Structure 1
């Protein structure tokens, strides 16, 4: 008699800071990740990473015996918080200790652990801060977006605690990176029994009103008008092909080409509200420098969306052939 192969348990890593106690945000996050794990048929492993970077302490605090004392306190706080949730889907919490005094070093330790656990997803709530007060957000979740090869789902304090995911908005620039991320998301969408709305924006394109305002000659006006029609037709064909791929995987899919002149962020949030979306899924390929200078579309969506955001970082090759 052949032994049935035991399926590997799916793991969702929850980046959890226990030192704020049982806050309303923690309770909402716990309900959300518990439901998410149920849909994905997974267990949740809460993980807190203890490092000088987290508490802004000198690195010499993280040597024996002080180091072991911090670990003991953190583990006690984590256990107490998890016990208050009382979920059978939650595995025992884990405290990681890292001596790195940089955000990137701390994130690399966290990601290495998640990869070692074969995590299918990282759940990382944010503080929803902006401007200078968003430094903590930049310290962990937003840095995680840049370096984690494992998909991440975020919620901020404004996130509505929807426990179902029928409607998903997938904003895309129709790049190969975005297509790879969509392919990776399709199995998740199928488990969620969700419908995907593919959204592509022609922001930056010149509409007829804009062209007329610019006072272009009739020849130039006609040229740009025809060119925009050609571009739109090409994009419609491309996004339609993506929709067919989604449907071939059993995921109901619709498409939309947005032509308004608003910012990408505004378009995404407006369409998400109109479609009554429960989740935004998207790719991110921006490097650290670009995120510092522009804020990054993905990071903006994470900060301002009032629904959860699923993100996957696609590595890209730089001019020297290395991946970032």
Structure 2
């Protein structure tokens, strides 16, 4: 029985019963190392900023291990301060456990406190490309409105990505609890980069994992992943997990073909060969764009997120790029991979809206 396929050079493995030898494919092209890094001083941004990073920063939770990981991720993402970073905070009653609406007097009372907290945080960060913080006001105690405020601002600024952590350990604000990140997943049209408490520190995006089902929507996200890897000099790993067809296929009669049953083994072999050909084509596409790429096909049964997390741990992946769909019916689609990865991944997760 075949277990895995990979399009990468790897260390020899001991032969084991029931496992197929690893398929080796050399990297098609080397990445061009001639990078021209932007070093110009960055002033207050305009709606037409390029490469703008929106940092959903809670100045009241700017401490602890999660914060340190988030800072390192933002620093790495900005190419060590070469790209503009816009800190943003949504000031609303829900941040302060206040159940009523904010009046003008409440805003006047709390906004200076937020700005003072920001001043202390930014003074410690000393990032050269940090822009002046933006405080968005939402007078209603609504998580959804907080999210909409942030995402609308990001779209207005044409941001490349919004960075946030998926859980706040403690602090005055409740702005970045997991539900905020998951709400953003269902609404956003701007890519999100999420860092959860279990993420390891990132000093470089050397390896980017791209789980795919080879659909048209996934191909659109793939182009975004290629652009990211090109900018950061990352290796792109195209990951595909073969579904376990036994129960669903038998129940729907898919194996009835030509008047007889097709064996599960034959089906899996043909499916595996087809996915391998598709994987190689995607590797070649990345190579044409100047990105070093390889593929990995997982054939063992199990939950896809468990398989992805195992691969991350075993191969030192620095970021996972996944697609999602926004809208009221998107929670099922997001829940299958993106939402679970945001909750469990041991590295940052880049979520791209597949239009």
Task: Indicate the residue corresponding to 1:25 in structure 2.
Answer: 66
Distance 1:99 1:26 in 2: 27
Separation (CA, whole Å) in 2 of partners of 1:120 and 1:294: 21
Using the TM superposition, give the Cα deviation of residue 85 of structure 1 relative to its aligned residue in structure 2, in angstroms: 1.6
Aligned partner of 2:91 in structure 1 is 50
Are residues 163 and 293 of structure 1, via their aligned partners in 2, closer, same or farther at CA, if it must alter by over 3 Å? closer
User: 1:237: Cα distance to partner?
Assistant: 2.0
Map residues 131-280 of structure 1 onto 2, 5 A cutoff: 137-206=177-246, 222-280=262-320
Conservation of the 8 A alpha-carbon contact between 2:54 and 2:85? yes
Aligned equivalent of 1:321: none
Return closer, same or farther for 1:286/1:268 CA change in 2, 3 Å cut-off: farther
DSSP 3-state at the match of 1:311: strand
| CA distance, structure 2, for counterparts of residue 309 and residue 23 of structure 1 | 20
- The answer on whether the counterparts of 1:165 and 1:192 sit within 8 Å (CA) in structure 2 is yes
Instruction: Tell me if structure 1 keeps the 8 A contact 2:312–2:346.
Output: no
Aligned residues: 298
59, 68, 72: which one aligns with 2:100: 59
Matched-pair contact (CA < 8 Å) for 2:188–2:326: no
Structure having the larger proportion of residues in helix: 1
Residue 239 of structure 1: CA displacement?
2.1
Q: What is aligned with 2:15?
A: none
* Structure-2 residue corresponding to 1:69: 109
Which stretch of the first structure deviates more once superposed, 280-289 or 168-177? 280-289
Q: Which runs of 5+ in 2 are unaligned?
A: 1-41, 43-47
CA distance in 2 between partners of 1:37 and 1:303 (Å): 24
SS at match of 2:79: helix
Q: What RMSD in Å do the two structures reach over aligned CA positions?
A: 3.0
Question: Bigger relative contact order, structure 1 or 2, given CA contacts below 8 A and separation 6+?
Answer: 2
The alignment status of 1:11 with 2:82, answered yes or no, reads no
TM-score, length-normalised on structure 1?
0.82
Please say if residues 195 and 342 of structure 2, whose CA atoms lie closer than 8 Å, have aligned partners that are also in contact.
yes
TM-score (norm 2): 0.75
